[in-house]
Structure 1
Amino acid sequence: MISRRALLVAVPVVGIGAAVGYSLQNDDPITVRLASGENGGGYATFASALESVTTDSLRVVPVDSAGSQENLRLLATGDVEVALAQGDTVRAWVESTGADVVALGRVYDNYVQVAVRADSDIRSIDRLRGRAISLGPPGSGGAVALADILTAVGLGPGSYVDRALRLSDGAIALADSTVDAVCWCGALPTTIVADALPVRLLDVPAAATAVPEYRARSIRSGTYRGANGVSSLAVRNLLVARTDLPDVAVERLLAAVAGNAGALVPVDATGLQNYEPRSMIDTSGLALHRAALQWYRANG
Structure 2
Amino acid sequence: MTVTRRAALLGGLALALAGCGDSYRGPERQITIASGEPGGFYLAFAEVLAAELTRAEPRLHCTALRTEASVENVERVRDGTADLGLALADIAQSALTGGSPFGKPVPLQAVGRVYENYLQLVVRAEDRLTDLRSLAGRPISVGASRSGAAQLGERVFAGIDVPITALHLPLGDAVAALRDKRIDAFLWSGGIPTPALAELNRTTPLALIPLTSVLPQLRKAYGPLYEQVQVPAGAYRGVGSLPTIGVANLLVCSPALPTDVAAAVVRVLVGRAAELVPAQAVGTQFLDVRTLIGTQPVPLHPGAADTYRALHG
Interval containing the TM-score (normalised by the shorter chain): 0.7 to 0.9
Runs of 4+ with deviation above 3 angstroms: 270-275
Q: Distance in 1 between matches of 2:174 and 2:240?
A: 20
Per-residue Cα deviation, 1:24-46 (whole angstroms, up to 9, x for no partner): x8253332111111112111001
Q: Distance in 2 between matches of 1:94 and 1:171?
A: 32
* C-alpha deviation, 1:275, in angstroms: 4.0
1:5-154 correspondence to structure 2 within 5 Å: 26-53=25-52, 54-55=54-55, 56-96=58-98, 97-154=104-161
Structure 2 unaligned segments of length 5 or more: list them.
1-23, 99-103
Q: Distance in 1 between matches of 2:285 and 2:197?
A: 19
Contact 1:58 1:252 in 2 (8 A): no
Which residue of 1 is the match for residue 265 of structure 2? 253
Structure 1 unaligned segments of length 5 or more: list them.
1-24
| Residue type of the alignment partner of 2:136 | R
Contact 2:195 2:280 in 1 (8 A): no
- Tell me, what secondary structure is at the counterpart of 1:123? coil
**Alignment TM-score, normalising by the size of structure 2:** 0.83
Q: Distance in 2 between matches of 1:275 and 1:218?
A: 17
Q: Distance in 2 between matches of 1:256 and 1:264?
A: 9
* C-alpha deviation, 1:263, in angstroms: 1.8
- Tell me, what secondary structure is at the counterpart of 1:168? helix
Contact 1:152 1:208 in 2 (8 A): no
Which residue of 1 is the match for residue 7 of structure 2? none
Deviates more, 1:256-265 or 1:35-44: 256-265
Which residue of 2 is the match for residue 214 of structure 1? 226
Q: Distance in 2 between matches of 1:202 and 1:108?
A: 22
Deviates more, 1:201-210 or 1:236-245: 201-210
Is 2:195 aligned against 1:191?
yes
Aligned counterpart in structure 1 of residue 250 of structure 2, from 220, 234, 238? 238
Contact 1:35 1:64 in 2 (8 A): yes
**Alignment TM-score, normalising by the size of structure 1:** 0.86
Which residue of 1 is the match for residue 4 of structure 2? none
Higher relative contact order (CA 8 A, sep 6+): 2
Instruction: Figure out how many residues of one structure are paired with residues of the other and give that number.
Output: 272
Q: Distance in 2 between matches of 1:271 and 1:93?
A: 30
- Tell me, what secondary structure is at the counterpart of 2:127? coil
* C-alpha deviation, 1:72, in angstroms: 0.9
* C-alpha deviation, 1:134, in angstroms: 0.6
- TM-align CA RMSD: 1.6
Q: Distance in 2 between matches of 1:73 and 1:245?
A: 15
